[in-house]
Structure 1
């Protein structure tokens, strides 16, 4: 499995003695960022399944997802993007399902995703972290990054006029997000939806070790980054610590190698502050030099 540097790998050696189609043996590529919650969902699934991939960091805070080359591949400009040969997938839930089906095919099994796992995945996917996250970021930092990204978008639009209409969509989305953040009802709805999701998980974890039973599934790969986002925002006391079963579950998954590689490496203690400070410093220099 791949870490945070760019690498070129094959499927792990335990699969090499079986016969698979060449389509499954292509090197897989993931465009992601350690702070992207959806990227974490996919990386956890890849690590848990033991699938190797080529890793490309695309930092949305510096506007790298707005570069024309990336934009042509993925006009939503959202992370992550998963590529297996000519097959490109954008949405995290679709990528995670693809990874699960791929693993089953490689192992010669016939084991579709259970209804319970699918229900949890859809429930987790139904909560968007964007409003929640940005509403808990200090205004001065949020507005500084937002202004920088808008200027990057305008600069890339000038460089690639054939993509102007799609870049305009991203600009409208940026302004729309700022409008939503000024509406206390929308912010409150986002927090209430998260609380309901956590309450449902707390009830389930009273019955089972993981979300969909006593074994970790792709539903957990999608849920753990939600807890990591709460931790990143220093909101554990309000959303996690008041739910004892989630605390127990979170401590359990933190001990897994997949968590340590995907999240722990960047989010433990001072590391999260280092990453954020480096990004803000980089943005400050580029803004001062007007390099967008």
Structure 2
């Protein structure tokens, strides 16, 4: 039995885990959870994931884990010796600290705005929760642009957010970042931030993302 990934193929967080699995060459079986039928809110599902969210994983020995970023760290640590190196050696305290700094940047300075835009422009109307609030979209876009100005400064001195080696901190951006382009919010590829554009082209060109961008 291979690792099982329970999730919705096109969900951002499911694809976040899938791309890490691809980076580390870890075989997995996707077990589809149909969000359109609220399967993630079923009593059975919520015994595995009490928040009723995707994804979660189950390993051969029965070990279970949810939260996409936690899963990503776990996979990168457990399979450190195979695939691409996407975490610093834990004994390297300084580079590990720089990685955690970069991971915190993604979680607090990127995700709230990118995921908020996705909710307003994609998920809200799709779920019948009302029309897109364009004032909210404008506010989130303005805030995200300000954050990306700081990214431009950071990426002017290093190739990636934690230094000159790609890490999970960079890869965690991809699923929601890719949605921005689909929504017509061109903030990552704009020529106004050449270092951000260079970084974004680099990480989204990786075979791992190309393999899962249309579904985990």
Once the two structures are TM-superposed, the CA of residue 258 in structure 1 deviates from its matched residue by: 0.5
CA distance in 2, matches of 1:257, 1:123: 24
Query: What SS is found at the alignment partner of 2:52?
Result: coil
Pairing of 1:130-209 with structure 2 (within 5 A) = 130-137=115-122, 142-143=124-125, 145-146=127-128, 184=135, 190-209=140-159
CA RMSD across the alignment: 3.0
User: Which runs of 4 or more aligned residues in structure 1 lie more than 6 Å from their structure 2 counterparts after TM superposition?
Assistant: none
Pairing of 1:39-78 with structure 2 (within 5 A) = 39-78=14-53
Query: What SS is found at the alignment partner of 1:208?
Result: coil
Q: Is the 8 A contact 1:93 1:125 kept in 2?
A: no
Give the counterpart of 2:196 among 226, 230, 246. Answer: 246
Q: CA 1:77/1:220 → structure 2, altered by over 3 Å: closer, same or farther?
A: same
CA distance in 1, matches of 2:56, 2:147: 26
Structure number with higher relative contact order (C-alpha < 8 Å, ≥ 6 residues apart): 2
TM-score by length of 1: 0.59
Match of 2:169 in 1: 219
Matched pairs, number: 201
Q: CA 1:245/1:226 → structure 2, altered by over 3 Å: closer, same or farther?
A: farther
Bigger radius of gyration among the two: 1
Match of 2:105 in 1: 123
- Deviation digits for residues 28-51 of structure 1 (CA, Å, limit 9, x no counterpart): 221123432222222221111111
Q: CA 1:71/1:48 → structure 2, altered by over 3 Å: closer, same or farther?
A: same
CA distance in 2, matches of 1:193, 1:60: 30
Query: What SS is found at the alignment partner of 1:73?
Result: coil
- Deviation digits for residues 40-83 of structure 1 (CA, Å, limit 9, x no counterpart): 22222111111111212223244221233212211211122122
Q: Is the 8 A contact 1:123 1:197 kept in 2?
A: no
Once the two structures are TM-superposed, the CA of residue 222 in structure 1 deviates from its matched residue by: 0.5
Q: Is the 8 A contact 2:188 2:197 kept in 1?
A: no
CA distance in 1, matches of 2:170, 2:141: 21
Moved more, 188-197 or 52-61: 188-197
Q: Is the 8 A contact 1:33 1:79 kept in 2?
A: yes
